[in-house]
Structure 1
Amino acid sequence: MSGPERVTLAMTGASGAPYGLRLLDCLVQEEREVHFLISKAAQLVLATETDVSLPAKPQAMQAFLSEYTGAAPGQIRVYGKEDWMAPPASGSGAPGAMVVVPCSTGTLSAIACGASNNLIERAADVALKERRPLILVPREAPYSAIHLENMLRLTQLGAVILPASPGFYHQPRTVDDLVDFIVARILNLLGIPQDMLPRWGEHHLGGSEE
């Protein structure tokens, strides 16, 4: 198995909830264990942008997401925002990588300054201090100088900033194609196999001229 066996997936209150849902589904299909964290703002955005309305309690949410994605028992684990005994809260138990998608600029700021006021922020702080992959997917426009400074600081600390800016060289026909573009890039960074998006140049291999 290439890539991390366990991944922390956090969703916060920026637009782009379909990215997080699609990544969750892909991680489940690739048989990864997912530690799922979501803010209250992200639950509101999710209900606004999709047809998914998550239960409020972690246990009920876990059951819902397991059924929604077809996950095996225990494959998805959901934790509340103040569950400080959850594995992502400690370097000795945290998964091998973390993705925040979508990542609000408020969460970006909190991670950049090490606030650790909730489990999402603490889990990201753990990923940074343990030198584990941390991928942040902001969705904002335009960016202020504050946002850009926080992104620079986080990049210097070892995080990867992957803005939700889909490309068009794969000739997308649907919104799902645009979502898959970003999710495929995340999976590539994690080292997890994906067949949603050919790597640059692969889509030309069959049509090269003499």
Structure 2
Amino acid sequence: MTQQNVTVAVTGAGGTGVAKALLAALQRDDRVGHVDLLVSANGRKLVAFEFRTGEDPDSVVQALEATSPKVRFLDPADMSGPVTSGSYPSDAMIILPCAAGVLGRIAHGQAESLIERAADVMLKQRRRLVLCLREAPLNLIHLRNMVAVTEAGATVYPMIPTYYNVPETLAQLRDEFVERVLQFLGLPGTDRYQWDGSDTTARREHTQAR
């Protein structure tokens, strides 16, 4: 079985708990051989705020529970990191959450950190780049940037939950969103959320539990 290399970036927008759930899924998936993790300076601030921990890299890694040997933490300020080159074998990159400022810099080819450079490499190599934008409401600049990155080959996958599975907790919303992103990348972990024409397993479970 060929294993995938996945790059995950966490930037300065709320919802870093969803990134933690994504990393947990990638770490336990045998189809994933390696994960490169980048957390921006503002992303570290959000992790520290949402998990009540320190902003230093070690505290952030512990808070995100990215402790598997398959995860490598990269410094976004180090522009010599491996993901800066198209010769590096990264199959997909997910920015979750993706701040509007990061979206804008990617849209305009402004690689101010290794995160934007890695995204630029994914685009130029025609590889999968998923931007989980966390912003609302959207202004015209955001919308134009979303169009620009889509035209360049990225997928904008906003952090918008579904409701037809009648989730009752934030954890259920989070887990379903992570599963849908992974399914989009060809790494499905469950069929609980798959619509069969009339229902889903998750919806039946949630409604029966009421």
Match of 1:8 in 2: 7
Aligned residues: 200
Do the aligned partners of residues 88 and 175 (structure 1) sit closer, same or farther apart at CA in structure 2, a change above 3 Å counting?
same
Calculate the TM-score normalised by the size of structure 1.
0.86
| Change in 2 beyond 3 A, CA 1:62/1:105 | closer
Q: Taking every aligned residue pair, what percent have the same amino acid on both sides?
A: 36
Inter-partner Cα distance in structure 2 for 1:205 and 1:111: 36
Q: Pick from 170, 179, 183 the counterpart of residue 175 of structure 1.
A: 170
Letter in 2 for 1:149: R
Which residue does 1:99 correspond to in 2? 94
5 Å-filtered alignment, 1:171-210, equals 171-195=166-190, 197-201=192-196, 204=199
Q: Secondary structure at the match of 2:199?
A: helix
Of residues 97, 116, 120 in structure 1, which corresponds to 2:115? 120
Take 1:55 and 1:23, find their aligned partners in 2: how far apart are those partners? 20
Superposed displacement of residue 25, structure 1 = 0.6
1:18 CA displacement: 1.1
In structure 1, list runs of 5 or more residues that go unmatched: none
Comparing 34-43 with 84-93, greater Cα deviation is found at 84-93
RMSD value, Cα: 2.4
- Matched position secondary structure for 2:77: coil
Shift of residue 105 of structure 1?
0.3
- Give 1:19's aligned residue: 18
Name 2:49's counterpart in structure 1.
Answer: 48
1:189/1:54 CA distance change after superposition, 3 Å: farther
Q: 1:120 to 1:196 in 2, by over 3 A?
A: farther
Cα displacement (A) at 1:38: 0.5
CA distance in 2, matches of 1:79, 1:89: 11
Counterpart CA distance in 2 for 1:168 and 1:103 is 22
> Could you tell me which of 146, 149, 160 is aligned with 1:165?
160
Of 136-145 and 186-195, deviating more is: 186-195
**Which whole-Å deviations, capped at 9, do the CAs of 1:138-185 have from their partners, x for residues lacking one?**
111100000000001111111000111100111112100111121111
1:122-150 per-position Cα deviation (integer Å, ceiling 9, x unaligned): 00000000000000011111000000000
**Quick one: which of 64, 78, 82 aligns to 2:62?**
64
**Long gaps (5+) in structure 2:** 205-210
Q: What TM-score comes out, normalization by structure 2 length?
A: 0.86
The runs of at least 4 aligned residues of structure 1 exceeding 3 Å deviation read 60-66
Correspondence 1:109 to 2:104: yes
Secondary structure at the aligned position of 2:188 is classed as coil
Query: Is the CA contact 1:97–1:134 (under 8 Å) kept in the aligned structure 2?
Result: yes
Measure the CA separation in 1 of the matches of 2:5 and 2:97. Answer: 19
Conserved? CA contact 2:54–2:60, under 8 Å: no
Whether contact under 8 Å (1:116, 1:122) holds in the other structure is: yes
If asked which structure has higher relative contact order (CA below 8 Å, sep 6+), I would say 1
Superposition deviation, residue 86 in structure 1: 1.8
* Aligned-residue offset at 1:195: 1.7
